[in-house]
Structure 1
């Protein structure tokens, strides 16, 4: 073989092997709705652009299960995962195991909603960078409300009455599967979100106040949970006590609920070809409690780089790609993901294709955070104790007053000596 042919062969082999700098990255993500398909599509684009490859490590839908696995991996110093998709509430608990992104993202930080950046900053360290934010909606069957001459409810009391009226009339007309209202009632983080909304909308606070005071055991919180308890077996099926997001959406999307509380991701899915409610529903902010106002729990997902990653530079580049304005717009258009870049809420393409996104800017701005900041690393225990008390109340195992009194004692024991 001539020297020229040898050089050509080497060059060909190099091309087949890909760029010399190419690495394989792993990103871990939970899966609700089209999460994984959506992420895979953007990762395919990233791979073409960078020459790197990215494997998705898929997790269950439950954020509670995700957090438990994350903590196990990180406490073991696992280097197999480079990038973690993290819930907005996890920053204080996982900060020690993630790379500080403050310098790497300095040019992107000014474009973001300041409160979201602040939620991911722990002791001056930017633990994770926003991918999209979230705030739930009240989904309602516009066709059924129009049919019976009723309006979208502004209060939980109005929702209760409207749901019961339409449910009963539809069942009398032959639709025995119709339910008035479905939500997330299973004992997991999702119930913390739902119940925080009920309590906060009644003026009952946020479980633990921003200054760290435990405030959950109060008459307004009791009233909120007693009202919700009254929904079980009347406007909500008994099975709602085991519903998470997807179970709620399943009932809704088959046409068997008048109202649903869920996140914006359910909007484009509800308009899909296989949906029985396509073209028949609309959304409004969640109802207010008595003498209160609408309260939507702040959700959202971020990207964090593991300090145990062997490819931190490439992992940070992946985070930049997935949190860019282009990537946020794609997610908003495709899956109604709420942007963390304010300018995108008025983007003409988004306004036209995903009206829920355009409408939700003010809802996001006023969303109620869970008390992860004041309770720090103990938030997970706080939330578990709260959702347990709520689920027990909904199931009829004790009154709201009894269960919140017990919860108050548990949280005071947990706080002993201060939140850590």
Structure 2
């Protein structure tokens, strides 16, 4: 603890001193590396040290008919606001006879071994529990997308005006969850913190310079003063001390710097691949290399607080608090006057959606409404504890007598989740790395932006050749093959080819070719966005293609059985019903697959291109898939057994030889398809190409061995096909006539 803290701690009440002693007796505070998710060190030192958990009154003698459990994390127990908020609600509940009490489980370095990252992981685990261990969750606002699946949809539970009183843009960025087919608000901000610009007025006044209004003006002012001070042998002066720490603070600084380069105050966050982003990063590099350094820009929080005290920097970006009076505070800058950007970091409050008891759910919603109410936010703002996201508060005359409302109104907040990803930790770490490699290294801006784009972009196959031409090549190739397959049906209706297609009725030949074409186009479902419906359709189309291709063969083998039997007779007389039975089985499997048998899994490729794949649900999905596979295996085994029995029959002698090649080749190809779908392939083009090739191979093998070879055979046969057909008909007639006699 520094001298400032020591002096201010003397002003504590006796009760607080006793509490501190008890805390120190119970557990020794462990030394922790400062994690910058919530930058509270400077807040703790300069701003919040006087918060008393009794300021909002204690919760003694509260009726405990319904008890809610809440959880939060802080590095600094004596400066956090969670306890005062909970105590305030418990007092309110007691006074208004709500019969609701909230218990707070507050994790700190003093009472646990977890840090902010461990807390985030723990929250993720706890939220999935049914029934939930906790009802109310205080969580870092960067994780609404990650936790949102397990949090209550507040839009359906709170009055519309309650949510609308908060800054809509900020709520949309930091409190929303976007699923496959849903959008919901899952939390509301308890507080937000933000950065501002500190200007060294001693030096600015010395050289008759004003506080800059743009980044270009800051650069020019700092460069001028540094050169003048060098003439006076002051070589230690720092032009700009930014906040590019290799932590979450660094990510926030990058986000707000790019945000400050949007076209207008009302413009959205700039697109990644845009001139706005390029200009922002190039200015950041220019500032870092010419009026600062990598060491300065990456220096830790303690170094910045020291810089504010020893006045060795002209400009410093830091979080709002009360430091050296020689530094004047101003809102962050932009590329044009009037445009700025400050990243809001803080905590949201959310409710578990797995609360099954109605009375507890209603109690949690009632508590949530009070904690996030305008009255509570006003109380916290007036005491100087927080910056609120309720804009209308800064229009109230009484409140503005105590705080600088004009300053707060000019802050242009942006949430970290403008770069929102489910795996935010992975994203933000690599995002910083790529930007730092450009700002402090030799990487080009184009390569940098491409690498960052690859972190967020989900690549997919399409006919657009911008990312890859494989989609267009595939579509042209399978279209050509399917056209040739369809054209080859002409031979079915030529009399001089009839003898080559006597194995199956014409309508079943057509079905067989349709089956091959269906299999040929299966990978078309991987074009553009992958969805659960497409995942289900892929396995269903494979099943249908299999049915159309091989069930006609099964039909022929059954009716050709050498021993007369009722099954053969029934099948021959009811061929469409026979086929329809298998189609019903396929359609039933399709319905089962839609019962959550698949999930869409995003493959995040390190330094590569992310893409989505279908992943089988380990519970329901495997059961359904195994059922489908077993049914097809039964058909294949039956075909193989019948082939074995009928192997030497003269009528189908060559047909069975070609058929066995088709069966074994298909079986091998399906095994390869299963293997590929479970092998880790980290290139989306390679993954698609291999899968597509296997499906094409399966289709072509079935077509060639069952139908195509007959066309080729007929075209190459030297004898007149019509004469051969008449001979075969006469031979069959004579054989049957002799047997009859």
TM-score class, shorter: 0.7 to 0.9
Q: 8 Å contact 1:112–1:342 — kept in the other structure?
A: yes
**TM-aligned CA distance change 1:62 to 1:251, over 3 Å:** farther
Larger radius of gyration: 2
Distance 1:230 1:62 in 2: 35
Of the three residues 436, 440, 456, the one matched with 1:395 is 440
Are residues 1:359 and 2:407 paired? yes
Larger fraction in helix: 2
Q: CA deviation at 1:294?
A: 2.9
Give runs of aligned pairs for residues 12-411 of structure 1, distance below 5 A: 19-21=63-65, 23=67, 25-31=69-75, 36-50=79-93, 51-58=101-108, 67-75=120-128, 79-106=132-159, 108-119=162-173, 120-122=175-177, 123-133=182-192, 135-166=194-225, 178-203=237-262, 215-232=271-288, 234-243=290-299, 248-249=304-305, 251-253=307-309, 255-263=311-319, 266-267=320-321, 270=322, 275=323, 277=324, 279-289=325-335, 293-307=339-353, 312-335=361-384, 337-355=386-404, 357-364=405-412, 367-370=413-416, 372=418, 377=422, 381-396=426-441, 398-411=443-456
Q: 8 Å contact 2:86–2:102 — kept in the other structure?
A: no
**Match of residue 3 from structure 1:** none
Q: CA deviation at 1:98?
A: 0.9
Q: 8 Å contact 1:182–1:260 — kept in the other structure?
A: yes
CA deviation profile, 1:51-72 (whole Å, cap 9, x unmatched): 5442322489997676455334
Distance 1:169 1:336 in 2: 41
Distance 1:177 1:84 in 2: 47
Q: TM-score, normalised by structure 2?
A: 0.44
**Match of residue 9 from structure 1:** none
What secondary structure is seen at the aligned counterpart in 2 of 1:157? helix
Q: CA deviation at 1:304?
A: 0.8
Q: Gaps (5+ residues) in structure 1?
A: 1-15
**TM-aligned CA distance change 1:319 to 1:244, over 3 Å:** farther
Q: 8 Å contact 1:28–1:83 — kept in the other structure?
A: no
Q: 8 Å contact 1:30–1:61 — kept in the other structure?
A: no
CA deviation profile, 1:200-233 (whole Å, cap 9, x unmatched): 433499xxx88xxx94244543342233223336
What secondary structure is seen at the aligned counterpart in 1 of 2:411? helix
Distance 1:401 1:415 in 2: 21
What secondary structure is seen at the aligned counterpart in 1 of 2:246? coil
Report the more deviating stretch, 165-174 or 139-148: 165-174
Report the more deviating stretch, 324-333 or 117-126: 117-126
**TM-aligned CA distance change 1:99 to 1:405, over 3 Å:** closer
Distance 2:261 2:390 in 1: 30
Report the more deviating stretch, 189-198 or 379-388: 379-388
Distance 2:460 2:326 in 1: 48
CA deviation profile, 1:14-66 (whole Å, cap 9, x unmatched): xx98634263633214458x994333333333344445442322489997676
Q: CA deviation at 1:345?
A: 0.2
Q: Gaps (5+ residues) in structure 2?
A: 1-59, 94-100, 462-527, 531-601, 603-741
CA deviation profile, 1:334-379 (whole Å, cap 9, x unmatched): 3463323232102334323331x43222434xx4455548x55365
Distance 2:297 2:131 in 1: 35
CA deviation profile, 1:367-410 (whole Å, cap 9, x unmatched): 4455548x553655544432221122233252434322333344
Q: CA RMSD in A?
A: 4.1
Q: 8 Å contact 2:289–2:440 — kept in the other structure?
A: no
Aligned length: 384
Q: 8 Å contact 2:242–2:297 — kept in the other structure?
A: no
Q: 8 Å contact 2:244–2:251 — kept in the other structure?
A: no
Distance 1:72 1:397 in 2: 41
Distance 2:236 2:87 in 1: 42
Q: TM-score, normalised by structure 1?
A: 0.73
What secondary structure is seen at the aligned counterpart in 2 of 1:360? helix
Q: CA deviation at 1:418?
A: 4.9
Q: 8 Å contact 1:305–1:315 — kept in the other structure?
A: yes
Q: CA deviation at 1:182?
A: 2.3
